[in-house]
Amino acid sequence: MLVRDAMSTVVLTIGPDHTLRQAAALMAARRVGAAVVHDPDADGTGILTERDILVSVGLGQDPNAEHTHAHTTNNVVFAAPSWTLEQAAQAMAHGGFRHLIVLDGGEPVGIVSVRDLIRCWAPARQPAPAPV
């Protein structure tokens, strides 16, 4: 199975000047765990994850005052739609992260997460067994 078969095509793109609260609200509304950060003044595309927001809040930083550019990962490992799920899992395990932005022709076309990999590899959900 390939990344294109597993990835989410719901790509939330935010700017570097969004506050962490705004980013969290947008991520929650879209039910995604990561957002692509597009900063026209920076090199390339970055990613902001729920973990980045959690770390900031855990440090006591104000999510209304903190901006995404200060918490964005810019040295991103990207996946191609033609990667196998094994390649994606290997990249995540090696890098210690749970999301990969999927690029096609240099443009973000999706995000693949650990959850997507599990969904594809785990057997379909079975109904709970009836009580005895």
Contact 103, 78 (CB under 8 A): yes
CA dist., res. 62 & res. 17, Å (int): 14
Residues 1 and 47: their CA atoms lie apart, in Å, by: 25
- Count of alpha carbons within 13 Å of 68, Cβ hemisphere only? 28
Place of tokens 């550019």: 69
- Percent pLDDT > 70 in the chain is 95
What are the two backbone dihedrals, phi and then psi, of residue 3, each rounded to the nearest 5 degrees?
-55, -40
The string of pLDDT tens digits covering residues 112-131 is 999 999 989 887 666 667 77
90-99: long-range contacts, CB 8 A cutoff, minimum separation 24: 92/117, 97/49, 97/73, 98/33, 98/49, 98/51, 99/33, 99/34, 99/47, 99/49
For 14-56, the pLDDT digits (tens) are: 999 999 999 999 999 999 999 999 888 877 789 999 999 999 9
Q: Where are the domains of the chain?
A: 3-121
Question: Can you tell me the distance from the alpha carbon of 127 to that of 48, in angstroms, rounded to the nearest whole number?
Answer: 35
Average the pLDDT over each of 22-31, 65-74, 78-87, 114-123 and give the range with the smallest value: 114-123
Looking at CATH, the fold of the domain delimited by 3-121 is given as CBS-domain (3.10.580)
